[in-house]
Amino acid sequence: MKFTKYHGLGNDFILIDNLSSPQPLLSPDDAVKLCDRHFGIGADGVIFALPSDNSNDYSMRIFNSDGSEPEMCGNGIRCFAQFITELEGIEKVGKTYGINTLAGVISPTIQGHGQVKVDMGEPQLLAQQIPTTLAEKDEKVINKLLVVNNQEYFVSCVSMGNPHCLVFVDNIDSIDLSSIGSLFECHSCFPQKTNTEFIQVINSHYLKMKVWERGAGITLACGTGACATVVAGVLNNKCERKTTVELPGGCLDIEWCEKDNHIYMTGPATKVFVGEVDI
């Protein structure tokens, strides 16, 4: 099977041309093997470019490195958009695609020079939409107390089609993600588990963030997490609606547009290599 490797700020993916079938050509177990960084290709996930089953251009499915399937992936959909231009044989600057995902239709626009701007849609803020039990179903989860490993954290929750738990801290370098990330992900108050972002405010237009991704663990970047970070920052009066988010792998420009309530994410998608693998 042929594949192409892309990354978005170090959040890396194996891209598969799956246009011949409406179902992924690989199983979740296959994805686990391919994502292994010692015995496989190495990646945070496998992304399948599938034909659309409606009036949109394509469909996208993802298997994480642990075999689970997330609803959406912000860095992944930028890589997906660049991969589609490769399959089509031309980079159409200004072209906007309609992509079916498990989180709904997402619309990336090719900016040229490896940059992709994505209309990520509206953030979901009610507890039942996250989902989480940290508040009543029809309430927002803003600066709520969460106890993890006998330590108190004040968290906010946002869904970008997938769940995010956001924690503002004075210094993100003091956070040991490897020891507490999975405790947040699997906390009983998140029935579908959660992504977790720790955020340091540099100024009202610049945030630093590091992330533990549901199903993948520590990654160098998370696009939906960067979007959720700005939403939480605005709701907690810590940043402006147009803000740069610095992740371990680089920066994303995020705007929560007041006019239409949509989140717009702009950042790179970089092709690394192509190859073939025996399945």
pLDDT tens for each residue of 254-272: 999 999 999 999 999 999 9
79 is an active site residue: no
pLDDT of residue 91: 82
pLDDT of residue 152: 97
Proportion of the chain above pLDDT 90, given as a percent? 97
222 is an active site residue: yes
The pLDDT-based confidence of 109 (bands split at 50, 70, 90) is very high
pLDDT higher than threshold 90 for residue 9: yes
- What's the rounded Cα separation, in Å, for the pair 104 and 72? 9
Helix, coil or strand: residue 52: coil
Q: Taken in order 229, 130, 28, 108, is the CA torsion positive or negative?
A: negative
pLDDT of residue 67: 97
- Condensed to tens digits (0 to 9), the pLDDT of residues 157-192 reads 999 999 999 999 999 999 999 999 999 999 999 999
CB of 153 closer than 8 Å to CB of 141: no
> Could you tell me the pTM of the whole model?
0.94
Residue 232 DSSP symbol: H
Mean pLDDT of 121-149: 98
Both tokens assigned to 260: 């239409």
For 196, residues 6+ apart whose C-beta sits below 8 A from its C-beta are: 164, 165, 166, 167, 181, 184, 185, 211, 212
- Condensed to tens digits (0 to 9), the pLDDT of residues 190-209 reads 999 999 999 999 999 999 99
Tell me what the pLDDT averaged over the chain comes to: 97
Active-site residue, from 222, 227, 239, 251 = 222
Both tokens assigned to 156: 């906010």
Active-site residue, from 35, 73, 189, 251 = 73
pLDDT of residue 255: 98
**Buried (b) or exposed (e) across 73-107, using 16+ Cβ within 10 A?**
bbbbbbbbbbbbbbeeeebeeebebebbbebebbb
**Buried (b) or exposed (e) across 191-224, using 16+ Cβ within 10 A?**
eebbbbbbbbbeeeeebbbbbbbbbbbebbbbbb
Mean pLDDT of 49-76: 97
Nearest Cα to Cα of residue 49 among 19, 21, 86: 19
pLDDT of residue 90: 86
The pLDDT-based confidence of 279 (bands split at 50, 70, 90) is confident
